[in-house]
């Protein structure tokens, strides 16, 4: 099951940033118009400019109110918003000198935003709109009637201010928008990978359910035959071997019963809360019955009260799989350590085997890939899937002193209400 992710869409976040750009530009435009009006240096149509700035302010307010609603922001809407910016800027230029206004270069800012965040068709359409507006301003605009000296000075300072404003907006806001889109694409890739993994898990679970149903009959037959053999043959050595076989068959039947009970408990959400120490020690006892030939040293390094958690059955099975992998590498003197802090619960399992070959390290954890002569290559894959669903991680390292170190990390408050 995919974990829910609460994220705003890239278009919505980018529209928020575009609204912020509008507000900053509107403040700069209103300040420039107000300064020119107060100084009396420029004979401009103040009423028309004031109406255009009011329309720009209304667009900012309406967009902010629209973004507070639940409706998704489409790419078409985002492109229309950029088109409105181009039109408003063109109208302001029309009443303030047309193409001779140094702020004509601001046309490039919405186009840069479109190129960084929208498909090419929208970008080309907006580029055509900007080019058409610039062309109209070349032949049709209200000219500025200024003497040559002040005109050149105003043009020079205006060009510098226009460049600084455009460079700042493009550098900060467009970079942020492009980064947001990259993050969204990475998230989509992760979700696709999780979906593929869950499909593989579903296939494995379906096969496991069928196998569990079919194994009941041969296990019952084996249990009856072992009892009869123990009654017919009194050889002490044979009795000892038959007792081990009987215990292993009983353990297999118990595992199948626990599988059914765990599925029912998961359906009813009746997972028992316990401390991490109790959970680990119970799992170790169960695992040692399965692998009596293995020896281990267990250390609890955490300080303070052990964290409490509600581990589902698949998380316990993941731990058993990791212990089995370590015992398969080297069953002698496994080093098991439990530790925690304010955020994470950490469990490390170190074996003293040959380690993980570097040539196949990247393939570990893939379904049906195994380095053993036996097995199906599903243990580590299922373990990683269960731990990832719990919000944790499983990592394998080659220990610097030999062997393999397996690290399992879980959120401290996992499973608690």
Predicted confidence at residue 150, as pLDDT, reads 56
Kindly report the backbone phi and psi dihedral angles of residue 339, in degrees, each rounded to the nearest multiple of 5, phi listed first.
-145, 160
Domain boundary among 139, 159, 192: 192
Domain for residue 86, yes or no?
yes
In which region does residue 67 sit, left (phi positive, over 0), alpha (psi from -120 to 50) or beta (all else)?
alpha
Predicted confidence at residue 87, as pLDDT, reads 93
Query: Which range among 255-264, 318-327, 380-389 shows the weakest confidence by mean pLDDT?
Result: 255-264
Highest mean pLDDT among 8-12, 248-252, 284-288, 364-368: 284-288
Residues 164 and 281 in one domain: no
**CA-angle at 188, arms to 413 and 359, nearest 5°:** 80
Distance separating alpha carbons of residues 380 and 15, to the nearest angstrom = 44
User: By the 8 A CB rule, do 306 and 277 touch?
Assistant: yes
Residues 301 and 174 in one domain: no
Query: Which range among 136-145, 194-203, 214-223, 267-276 shows the weakest confidence by mean pLDDT?
Result: 194-203
What CATH number should be reported for the domain holding residue 289? 3.30.565.10
Query: Which range among 96-100, 274-278, 323-327, 373-377 shows the weakest confidence by mean pLDDT?
Result: 373-377
Predicted confidence at residue 271, as pLDDT, reads 62
Tokens of 192: 């696709």
Residues 22 and 154 in one domain: yes
The mean per-residue pLDDT over the stretch 23-48 comes to: 80
Quick one: pLDDT band at residue 176, thresholds 50, 70, 90? confident
In which region does residue 415 sit, left (phi positive, over 0), alpha (psi from -120 to 50) or beta (all else)?
left
Domain for residue 222, yes or no?
no
Domain that holds residue 110: 10-192
Residues 14 and 123 in one domain: yes
Residues 188 and 307 in one domain: no
- pTM score over 0.85: no
Domain for residue 368, yes or no?
yes
pLDDT over 90 for what percent of the chain? 15
pLDDT at 1 over 60: no
The mean per-residue pLDDT over the stretch 174-201 comes to: 70
Predicted confidence at residue 41, as pLDDT, reads 66
Predicted confidence at residue 267, as pLDDT, reads 47
Domain boundary among 141, 176, 192: 192
Domain for residue 286, yes or no?
yes
**CA-angle at 333, arms to 330 and 339, nearest 5°:** 110
Quick one: pLDDT band at residue 299, thresholds 50, 70, 90? very high
Predicted confidence at residue 207, as pLDDT, reads 56
Distance separating alpha carbons of residues 32 and 50, to the nearest angstrom = 12
Distance separating alpha carbons of residues 193 and 198, to the nearest angstrom = 9
- pLDDT tens figures, 71-89: 888 889 999 999 999 999 8
pLDDT over 70 for what percent of the chain? 76
Residues 175 and 310 in one domain: no
Identify the DSSP state of 359.
G
- pLDDT tens figures, 401-413: 888 888 999 988 6
Residues 178 and 30 in one domain: yes
The mean per-residue pLDDT over the stretch 333-358 comes to: 86
User: By the 8 A CB rule, do 372 and 356 touch?
Assistant: no
- pLDDT tens figures, 268-298: 445 678 889 999 999 998 888 888 888 999 9
Number of domains in the chain: 2
Quick one: pLDDT band at residue 350, thresholds 50, 70, 90? very high
Domain for residue 247, yes or no?
no
Predicted confidence at residue 59, as pLDDT, reads 92
Domain for residue 65, yes or no?
yes
User: By the 8 A CB rule, do 351 and 330 touch?
Assistant: yes
pLDDT at 197 over 70: no
Distance separating alpha carbons of residues 144 and 48, to the nearest angstrom = 15
Closest C-alpha among 69, 85, 82 to residue 29:
85
Identify the DSSP state of 330.
-
Quick one: pLDDT band at residue 61, thresholds 50, 70, 90? very high
Distance separating alpha carbons of residues 160 and 103, to the nearest angstrom = 9
Domain for residue 73, yes or no?
yes
Predicted confidence at residue 343, as pLDDT, reads 86
Quick one: pLDDT band at residue 196, thresholds 50, 70, 90? low
Distance separating alpha carbons of residues 415 and 309, to the nearest angstrom = 6
Query: Which position has the higher pLDDT, 413 or 149?
Result: 413
Domain for residue 149, yes or no?
yes
Quick one: pLDDT band at residue 376, thresholds 50, 70, 90? very low
Residues 162 and 33 in one domain: yes
Distance separating alpha carbons of residues 163 and 62, to the nearest angstrom = 29
Query: Which range among 39-43, 201-205, 344-348 shows the weakest confidence by mean pLDDT?
Result: 201-205
Q: What is the mean pLDDT of the chain?
A: 78
Domain boundary among 146, 165, 192: 192
Distance separating alpha carbons of residues 308 and 277, to the nearest angstrom = 9
């Amino acid at each position: 099951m995919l974990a829910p992710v609460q994220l705003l869409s890239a278009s919505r976040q980018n529209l928020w940033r575009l609204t912020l750009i509008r507000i900053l530009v509107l403040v700069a435009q209103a300040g420039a118009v107000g300064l020119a009006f107060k100084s009396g240096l420029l004979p401009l149509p103040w009423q028309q400019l004031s109406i255009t700035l009011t329309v720009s302010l209304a667009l900012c307010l309406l967009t902010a109110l629209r973004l507070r609603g639940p409706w998704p922001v489409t790419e078409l809407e985002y492109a229309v918003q950029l088109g409105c910016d181009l039109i408003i800027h063109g109208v302001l230029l029309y009443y303030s000198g047309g193409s001779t206004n140094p702020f004509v270069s601001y046309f490039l800012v919405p186009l840069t935003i479109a190129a960084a965040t929208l498909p090419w068709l929208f970008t080309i359409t907006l580029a055509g709109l900007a080019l058409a507006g610039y062309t109209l301003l070349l032949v049709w605009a209200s000219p500025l009637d200024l003497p040559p000296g002040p005109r050149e000075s105003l043009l020079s300072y205006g060009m510098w201010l226009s460049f600084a404003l455009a460079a700042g907006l493009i550098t900060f806001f467009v970079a942020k928008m492009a980064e947001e889109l990259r993050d969204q694409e990475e998230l989509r890739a992760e979700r696709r990978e999780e979906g593929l993994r869950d499909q593989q898990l579903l296939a494995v679970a379906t096969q496991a359910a069928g196998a569990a149903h079919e194994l009941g009959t041969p296990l019952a037959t084996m249990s009856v035959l072992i009892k009869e053999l123990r009654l017919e043959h009194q050889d002490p050595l044979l009795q000892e071997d038959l007792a081990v076989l009987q215990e292993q068959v009983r353990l297999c039947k118990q595992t199948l019963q626990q599988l059914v009970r765990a599925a029912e408990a998961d359906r009813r959400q009746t997972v028992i809360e316990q401390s991490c120490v109790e959970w680990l020690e119970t799992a170790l006892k169960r695992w040692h019955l399965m692998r009596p030939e293995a020896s281990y040293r267990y250390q609890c390094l955490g300080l303070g009260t052990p964290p409490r958690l509600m581990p589902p059955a698949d998380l316990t099975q993941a731990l058993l799989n990791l212990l089995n992998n370590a015992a398969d590498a080297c069953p002698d003197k496994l080093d098991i350590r439990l530790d925690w802090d304010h955020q994470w619960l950490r469990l490390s399992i170190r074996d003293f085997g040959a380690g993980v070959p570097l040539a196949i390290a990247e393939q570990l954890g893939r379904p049906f890939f195994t380095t053993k002569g036996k097995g199906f290559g599903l243990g580590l894959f299922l373990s990683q899937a269960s731990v990832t669903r719990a919000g944790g991680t499983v990592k394998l390292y080659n220990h610097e002193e030999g062997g393999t170190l397996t690290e399992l990390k879980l959120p401290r408050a996992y499973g608690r209400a």
